[in-house]
């Protein structure tokens, strides 16, 4: 497969212009400096913090009173009690026990290379290779999924000096190596090592603070970082074993192996959008500047989509899921701690995974959900007196599942239930019954919690979550006009619990696990609050029709049922679909912080409303307002979920399968006059390829793992197609 490049004509002016490489476990940002090159490193589990007791029993004691006051709509008094009791122990994400994702540090390479001429730097996202060239200097970098090392080959650089920069660690230089030793503070906190190893035909000497290289025609630099997170292995031994294996293979073999891995993964689903060759020849930052000035660039849209795939391949696999910054962070205290926000952000990171055919890279996600559910059982029991498990707004590598330190944003209690949706979606896409059985306890435990936790609201008669909040949003108290966040039965909670109960019943039937719990769920399900339309014609966010504190709020949680949920649909529920459109109009007309992940969510909303023009408008808004020079998403600051959410949004514009039919070009962006999408996965274990021209599908194929009938919707028609026996596919080149 040919390369596909991010290109630049000058070094990065800062981290937001550096080029990312990664293996899921390791990350590296390449700055492309001339006399001074910086290679900033990360390791997925390098976190401060430590396991602790954060579940507060005071919540359980105060629960009856919080509920009574909310049922009586004494909102101000209820919120005051919630601020004291509906919180974790300690300071939550501000507490040392919670910790933060951390940089592993930076390798600095200083050289006496001549003044640069003919400077270029690039990232080949089809091979996972970053390259810098100027004069006679060439630097080639990769990060290996197989060997879990970074590898750099430098030629033509003259004499070099290597140093390592990181706070709170010790660096030892000698024998052609740098060994960095660190230990985070706190009981059970992790230790870590980074080993830098130099191979060269020149001479390597060491001083107290640097390695010095002279007389070298070529230099190969290997690095590896390892931690003590959930392992008894010595991290330095781990680093040396990995580097040793890579060195025995050799740089060229490691480079070729990684290129083959990235190329295969990138090629599983391919989007072709013809672009202007003259624009493709421009540096990437220049193309982005043109778009910011109001120009369109279909080729840049394709590059941005492919970059999202690339970032997923580089940051998703490993022991831990991709965090708020994937696997990349320059900080000792990453913004928002670089954790797993499960009120949308972690979930958005994995929205495109199934359709792209990359679900084999998500095993760490399923493992993390199982890990989270085990910790969430304690939170459910201690804080609410309930069976099953629960997780709220935040989570981290230590298993934090309690509410945050402020119920205004930290009391959302459907985060764990939302995570379960990904397990169900994986089953829908793959039909893997062994997978479903392995993860059934996670789904069952989440449903069990809500069968215990739901209570009847005396005023409406509905079964509601109480206390809770609609993620990070507030409304006006009808009595005093003040800001209130805590509530009962917000729309998002009801939508999530409704679908959780529904697919719990479906899973139980598939697995033959129907029992007393499923009987109970079947009785509770009809008693949940329905999704309703407010007096303003919008989807009502709270159980009652309260006035919004911030009409332009970036969370549009009441539209969960539109995307990623399925209960709001232009065909099945046209009135709700119209109300969803009005919700978006109102949110956007009031400004708000619709950048990054929020804007990406809006792309998906409009795709589900089958409005390609609006979806394209917001896709360009992502590029114009929320994209950094290296194409990272800018919330601000950098937050990777916008990249992944936007990638998912493009797929939703081109193909949808959530209603049971396969719908081709449901929301085609108007300027995408022709193109092709190859080997996209849809629900049912099917693989679809199709082309279009002038807004019409011109040919398609559907491949199935078995014989079946499928419903296809395209070019304004709906048809049922039989997948033929033996061939298990259908092709139509005369549509």
C-alpha distances out from residue 505 to 71, 434, 498, 528, 561, Å: 30, 17, 11, 16, 19
Whole-number pLDDT of residue 158: 86
Do the strands 160-165 and 211-214 form a parallel or antiparallel pair, or are they unpaired?
Answer: antiparallel
Whole-number pLDDT of residue 732: 64
HSE, CB side, 13 Å, CA atoms: give it for residue 120. Answer: 17
Is residue 306 within a helix (H) or strand (E), and if so which, with residue range? Answer: helix 298-315
HSE, CB side, 13 Å, CA atoms: give it for residue 141. Answer: 28
Per run of 10 residues, the mean pLDDT along the chain (length 735 residues) is: 87 97 98 96 98 97 98 97 97 97 98 84 98 95 98 94 96 97 94 97 96 96 96 94 98 98 98 92 96 96 98 94 97 97 97 98 96 98 98 97 97 97 98 97 98 97 97 95 96 98 98 96 98 98 95 95 98 98 95 87 98 98 97 95 98 97 98 97 96 96 91 95 69 59
Closest to 159 in 3D by CA, of 193, 202, 125, 198: 202
Q: Map out the domains of the chain as residue ranges.
A: 5-48+99-289, 59-84+339-532, 674-732
Q: Are 598 and 604 in contact (CB under 8 A)?
A: no
d(CA 47, CA 397): 8
Q: State both tokens at 592.
A: 């708000």
Q: State both tokens at 490.
A: 């917000």
Tell the residue number behind the tokens 């099945």, with chain if given: 572
Whole-number pLDDT of residue 275: 86
C-alpha distances out from residue 194 to 71, 170, 421, 703, Å: 55, 10, 37, 46
d(CA 411, CA 103): 29
Closest to 420 in 3D by CA, of 360, 476, 471, 368: 368
Whole-number pLDDT of residue 734: 54
d(CA 365, CA 113): 45
How many CB atoms sit inside 10 A of residue 591's CB? 10
CATH no. of 59-84+339-532: 1.50.10.10
d(CA 684, CA 681): 9
Which CATH fold would you assign to the domain 5-48+99-289?
Beta-galactosidase; Chain A, domain 5 (2.70.98)
Whole-number pLDDT of residue 358: 98
Helix 433-453 to helix 363-379 angle (10° resolution) is 20
**Residue 733 burial (10 A CB sphere; 0-12, 13-18, 19+):** exposed
d(CA 150, CA 239): 11
Give the three-class secondary structure for 693.
strand
Task: Report cis status (omega within 30 of 0) of the bond before 636.
Answer: yes
């Amino acid at each position: 497969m040919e390369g596909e490049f991010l290109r630049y004509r000058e070094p990065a002016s800062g981290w937001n212009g550096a080029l990312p490489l990664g293996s899921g476990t390791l990350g590296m940002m390449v700055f492309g400096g001339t006399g001074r090159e910086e290679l900033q490193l990360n390791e997925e589990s390098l976190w401060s913090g430590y396991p602790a007791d954060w579940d507060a029993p005071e919540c359980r004691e105060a629960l009856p009173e919080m509920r009574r006051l909310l049922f009586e709509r004494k909102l101000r008094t209820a919120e005051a009690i919630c601020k004291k009791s509906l919180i974790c122990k300690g300071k939550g994400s501000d507490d040392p026990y919670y910790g933060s994702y951390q940089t592993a540090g930076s390798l600095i390479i200083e050289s006496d290379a001549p003044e640069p001429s003919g400077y270029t730097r690039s990232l080949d996202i089809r091979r996972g290779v970053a390259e810098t060239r100027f004069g006679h200097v060439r630097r080639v970098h990769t990060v290996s999924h197989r060997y879990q090392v970074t590898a750099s080959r430098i030629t033509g650089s003259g004499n070099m000096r290597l140093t390592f920069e990181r706070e709170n660690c010790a660096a030892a230089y000698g024998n052609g190596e740098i060994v960095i030793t660190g230990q985070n503070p706190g009981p059970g906190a992790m230790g870590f090592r980074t080993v830098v190893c130099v191979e060269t035909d020149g001479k390597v000497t060491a001083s107290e603070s640097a390695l010095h290289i002279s007389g070298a025609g070529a230099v190969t630099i290997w690095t590896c970082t390892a931690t003590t997170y959930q392992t008894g292995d010595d991290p330095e031994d781990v680093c040396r074993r990995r580097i040793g294996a890579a060195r025995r293979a050799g740089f060229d073999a490691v480079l070729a192996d990684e290129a083959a891995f990235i190329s295969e993964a990138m090629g599983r689903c391919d989007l072709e959008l013809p672009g202007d060759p003259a624009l493709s020849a421009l540096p990437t930052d220049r193309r982005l500047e043109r778009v910011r000035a109001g120009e369109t660039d279909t080729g840049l849209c394709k590059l941005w989509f492919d970059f999202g795939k690339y970032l997923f391949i580089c940051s998703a696999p490993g022991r831990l899921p991709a965090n708020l910054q994937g696997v990349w962070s320059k900080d000792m205290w990453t913004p928002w701690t670089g954790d797993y926000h499960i009120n949308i952000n972690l979930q958005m990171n994995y929205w495109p995974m199934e359709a792209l055919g990359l679900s084999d890279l998500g095993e760490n996600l399923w493992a993390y959900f199982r890990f989270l559910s085990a910790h969430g059982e304690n939170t459910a029991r201690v804080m609410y007196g309930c069976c099953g498990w629960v997780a709220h707004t935040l989570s981290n590598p230590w298993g934090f599942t309690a509410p945050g330190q402020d119920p205004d944003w930290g009391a959302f209690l459907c985060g764990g239930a939302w995570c379960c949706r990904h397990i169900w979606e994986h089953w829908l896409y793959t039909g893997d019954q062994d997978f479903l059985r392995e993860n059934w306890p996670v789904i069952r435990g989440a449903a069990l919690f809500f069968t215990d936790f739901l209570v009847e609201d005396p005023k409406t008669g509905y079964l509601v979550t109480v206390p809770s909040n609609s993620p990070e949003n507030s409304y006006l108290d009808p009595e005093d006009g003040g800001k209130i966040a805590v509530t009962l039965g917000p729309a998002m909670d009801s939508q999530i619990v409704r679908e959780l109960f529904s697919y719990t019943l479906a899973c139980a039937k598939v697995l033959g696990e129907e029992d007393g719990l499923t009987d109970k769920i079947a009785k509770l399900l009809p008693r949940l609050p329905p999704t309703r339309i407010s007096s303003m014609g919008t989807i009502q966010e709270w159980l009652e029709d309260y006035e919004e504190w911030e009409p332009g709020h970036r969370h549009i949680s009441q539209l969960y049922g539109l995307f990623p949920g399925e209960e709001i649909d232009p065909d099945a529920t046209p009135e709700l679909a119209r109300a969803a459109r009005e919700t978006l109009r109102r949110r956007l007309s009031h400004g708000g912080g619709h950048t990054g992940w929020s804007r990406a969510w809006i792309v998906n909303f409009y795709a589900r409303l089958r409005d390609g023009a609006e979806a394209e408008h917001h896709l360009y808004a992502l590029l114009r307002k929320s994209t950094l020079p290296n194409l990272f998403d800018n919330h601000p600051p950098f937050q990777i979920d916008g990249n992944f959410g936007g990638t998912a949004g493009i797929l939703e514009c081109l193909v949808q399968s959530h209603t049971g039919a396969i719908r081709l070009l449901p929301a085609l962006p108007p300027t995408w006059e022709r193109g092709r999408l190859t080997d996209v996965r849809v629900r049912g274990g099917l693989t679809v390829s199709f082309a279009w021209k002038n807004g019409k599908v011109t040919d398609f194929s559907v491949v199935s793992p078995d014989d079946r009938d499928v419903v296809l919707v395209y070019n304004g028609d709906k048809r049922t197609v039989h997948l033929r026996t033996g061939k298990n596919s259908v092709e139509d080149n005369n549509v």
